[in-house]
Amino acid sequence: MASKTVESHRAGAEVCHGDAECRKKSIELLGELGLPRNLFPLVDIQEFGYNRTTGFMWLVQKKSTTYTFEKIKRKVSYATEVSAFVGPRSIKKLSGVKTRELLLWLTVSEMFFADPTTKELTFKTPTGISDSCEASVFDLE
């Protein structure tokens, strides 16, 4: 079941169902926005939605998953629902994504390119902690 936030943005949104179609649409949207296309390597996606008017997107998967980005040896956890407001080269008010830092799981609330001349993607937590890495880490294999 989708959250109240998703339901409030559903009217007028492009919505698709099924893993293959949702994966394709989410990858297309990330590419269109100038973001790495493998930021959300979810498994068994049931629904993808994007409201172009509000910039709100969401992905719903059958169960939460953890993915390791091998190039940086970083584990990222994705909840059953991942949602955010997306725009050119940025993601804000992200929910459903955490990264493992030493022994702690930290919530990721934003992703953006701080400098348009570089390919370094910055990740920010709600507490203001941030880290950056090359966007190529998130390229599709």
- Report d(CA 91, CA 18) in Å as an integer: 24
Contact 123, 130 (CB under 8 A): yes
Report the pLDDT value the prediction gives residue 117, as an integer from 0 to 100: 83
What digits encode the pLDDT tens for the residues 84-122?
A: 999 999 999 999 999 998 889 999 999 999 887 888 999
DSSP code for 78: E
* Domain span at 112: 4-138
At 51, which CATH number? 2.30.240
Position 1 pLDDT exceeds 90: no
**Beta strand pairing call for 104-107 and 90-101:** antiparallel
Predicted model pTM? 0.92
The residue behind tokens 């559903």 is 10
- Report d(CA 42, CA 22) in Å as an integer: 10
- Domain count for the chain: 1
